[in-house]
Amino acid sequence: MTRSKYADEQAGTAAAPGLLAPPSPADSVSLWLYRTMSRIRAVEERIAEHYPEQEMRCPVHLSVGQEAIAAGVSAALEPNDYVVSTHRSHAHYLAKGGDLRRFIAEIYGRSTGCCGGHGGSMHLIDLSVNMLGSTPIVGNIVPIATGIAFASWLKNEKDVTVVYLGDGATEEGAFLESINFAALKSLPIVYVVENNFFSVYSPLDVRQPAARDVVGIGKNHGMAGARGDGNDAEQVYELAKAAVDHARSGAGPYVLELETYRWREHCGSAYDNDLGYRSVAEYEAWRGRDPIATLERRLLERGTLDSEQAAQISNAYAGEIDDAFAFARSSPFPDEGDFGTVFSTAVPGR
């Protein structure tokens, strides 16, 4: 999906084709970022709207406010590149091209879901786009990602693996052990740390000393890395492009730390500033840095879009989302016989 930088971004030329279609390779990078983020936002806002109906009976960890990272990183990836993620994986899955219907059906616990109802929102997978799965045990996907990259390395394949992880996950030993191995073998992997300053309600300063620097930890292992504004999708794309190119070239692993902020509650659909674990001023400041509005302003300034087109894009996904929810709700639940197979090969005994 990687394309030359802002190739077709002369005023007026880019926005014309297929505004109402899903984000497409024909888009310029910036337009693709804008459309991808708008689509993710629209999907998650719809989840938030329906969650209180108690039909999505599983935990959901929304990425609202954090969409730029998923979009910017995905824009830098080739279709064959691999992605894995955490409990907060909706945006990563969608940006990589994961199937929307099967995602919503999974949250509804239906047999048509991407895990057939086994996983729920915390276990998204779409092998057709090399989204190889997400797991909610903090940090435990990081070695898996490293192993995927190791396989590419063993097979002399050029595919890059991206693993998304939170600031909390960098505190797990598995993260440090993984980057050590990745650096040792020069594996083609990018560790994308989404630093939203919180692990649940716990701010960074009760978990990490102020001087801790995750990019520096990578550097001390001889790894390249960078830190950036995770709410600036174009910047994320630039950084991710450099990181992915680096990894693909055989130069070894890369740590990308991107600062961002979760708008809604850690788990669930509501807002939770009333709990008092973070200040409303801080929250408002971050809302002022809405990644979608930020990019929209730029696109308007550059003349890539006019405001009517921007509004069209914001509304472009409602139909697709209606369809996905209708699909999910009309899909059958799995039945008892769909569960219980825990070995891939039939074996005698139990």
Task: Tell me the C-alpha distance between 13 and 64, whole Å.
Answer: 30
Triad 111, 117, 120: Cα angle to 5°: 145
Instruction: End-to-end CA distance of the chain: give it in Å, rounded.
Output: 46
Residue with tokens 């990644």, as numbered in its chain:
291
- Say if residues 256 and 239 touch (Cβ distance below 8 Å): yes
The reply to whether 273 sits near another protein by the rule CB under 8 A is no
- Give the single-character DSSP code of 81: S
CB of 88 to ligand TPP, least distance (A): 4
Task: Tell me the C-alpha distance between 297 and 294, whole Å.
Answer: 5
Among 4, 25, 210, 340, binds another protein (CB under 8 A): 340
Residue with tokens 């890369």, as numbered in its chain:
254
CB of 154 to another protein, least distance (A): 27
Task: Tell me the C-alpha distance between 106 and 114, whole Å.
Answer: 6
Q: Choose the binding region for another protein from 39-47, 124-132, 199-207, 235-243 (rule: CB under 8 A).
A: 199-207
Q: Which does 123 bind (CB under 5 to 8 A by kind): another protein, ligand TPP, Mg ion, none?
A: another protein
Among 3, 6, 46, 58, binds another protein (CB under 8 A): 58
Alpha helices in the chain (DSSP H): 29-50, 67-75, 90-95, 100-107, 142-154, 173-185, 214-219, 233-248, 280-287, 291-302, 307-315, 318-330
Q: Which does 268 bind (CB under 5 to 8 A by kind): another protein, Mg ion, ligand TPP, none?
A: another protein
Q: Which does 311 bind (CB under 5 to 8 A by kind): another protein, ligand TPP, Mg ion, none?
A: none
Instruction: Return the CA Rg of the chain.
Output: 20
**Closest residue to Mg ion, Cβ-based?**
166
Nearest CB to ligand TPP, comparing residues 207 and 298: 207
CB of 65 to ligand TPP, least distance (A): 11
Task: Tell me the C-alpha distance between 92 and 164, whole Å.
Answer: 8
Q: Which uninterrupted H or E stretch holds 164?
A: strand 161-166
Interaction residues for another protein, span 121-160 (CB under 8 A): 121-123, 135-140
Q: Which uninterrupted H or E stretch holds 259?
A: strand 254-259
**Closest residue to ligand TPP, Cβ-based?**
166
CB of 148 to another protein, least distance (A): 19
Summarize as ranges the residues that interact with ligand TPP (CB under 6 A).
87-88, 136-138, 166-169, 196, 198-200, 266
Q: Which does 88 bind (CB under 5 to 8 A by kind): ligand TPP, another protein, Mg ion, none?
A: ligand TPP
Q: What's the maximum distance between 2 C-alpha atoms anywhere in the chain? A: 68
Nearest CB to another protein, comparing residues 54 and 156: 54
Nearest CB to another protein, comparing residues 23 and 143: 143
Task: Tell me the C-alpha distance between 334 and 109, whole Å.
Answer: 8
Q: Choose the binding region for another protein from 88-96, 218-226, 245-253, 331-339 (rule: CB under 8 A).
A: 331-339
Task: Tell me the C-alpha distance between 180 and 184, whole Å.
Answer: 6
Q: Which does 341 bind (CB under 5 to 8 A by kind): ligand TPP, Mg ion, another protein, none?
A: another protein
The reply to whether 196 sits near another protein by the rule CB under 8 A is no
The reply to whether 74 sits near another protein by the rule CB under 8 A is no
Q: Which two tokens stand for residue 110?
A: 């239906």
Nearest CB to ligand TPP, comparing residues 39 and 61: 61
Task: Tell me the C-alpha distance between 178 and 188, whole Å.
Answer: 13
Residues binding another protein: number (CB under 8 A): 50
Binding site for another protein (CB under 8 A): 54, 57-60, 106, 109-110, 113, 115, 117-123, 135-140, 168-169, 171-174, 199-202, 206-208, 267-268, 275-277, 333-336, 339-342, 350
